[in-house]
Amino acid sequence: MPRGRAIELATRLARAGAKTRGVATSARARAGVGPAIEPTRAPVREIPEEAELTWDAGDAHPEPALDDVPARIVTKARAATYLASAFAFLGGVYGLATMVDKPSTTPFAPKTFPYNGLEVELGKK
């Protein structure tokens, strides 16, 4: 038997053994275990429309599935006030940062020159 064919046959047998061993191990570990919950039968009559709006967990107090939220939590005028206040606050922070951060307006560090700032050499005098 050529060497390549022997390697191919050994590889195929190893793969088949791994598959069989994996199935046998998992079947032995899970034997007899059914589904997590018992299957239920399909309804035989029509379900009322309100049934989907009630959360019934099986206790004595079923509750509505949707929260009872008021129609208007914040009025339009109050929302506009909040928005204007937020913009005013951010504008104030920006203005304060601009006033305090003067070095950012100078793109270079101020230079100090010897000999009285090189006034004669630079033609300032």
Which range of residues forms the domain containing residue 111? 76-118
C-alpha 62/C-alpha 5 separation (Å) is 70
Average pLDDT over residues 98-109: 78
Mean pLDDT of 110-125: 75
pLDDT for 59 beyond 70: yes
Residue 80 has pLDDT above 70, yes or no: yes
Mean pLDDT of 84-90: 98
Q: Is residue 97 part of a domain?
A: yes
Angle at the Cα of 29 from the Cα atoms of 25 and 31, rounded to 5 degrees: 110
| 115 token code pair | 């000999």
- Give how many domains the chain has, as a whole number: 1
The contacts of residue 119 (CB under 8 Å, 6+ apart) are 125
80 domain residue, yes or no: yes
For residue 103, tell me if it sits in a domain: yes
Q: Does a structural domain hold residue 112?
A: yes
User: Which amino acid, 52?
Assistant: E
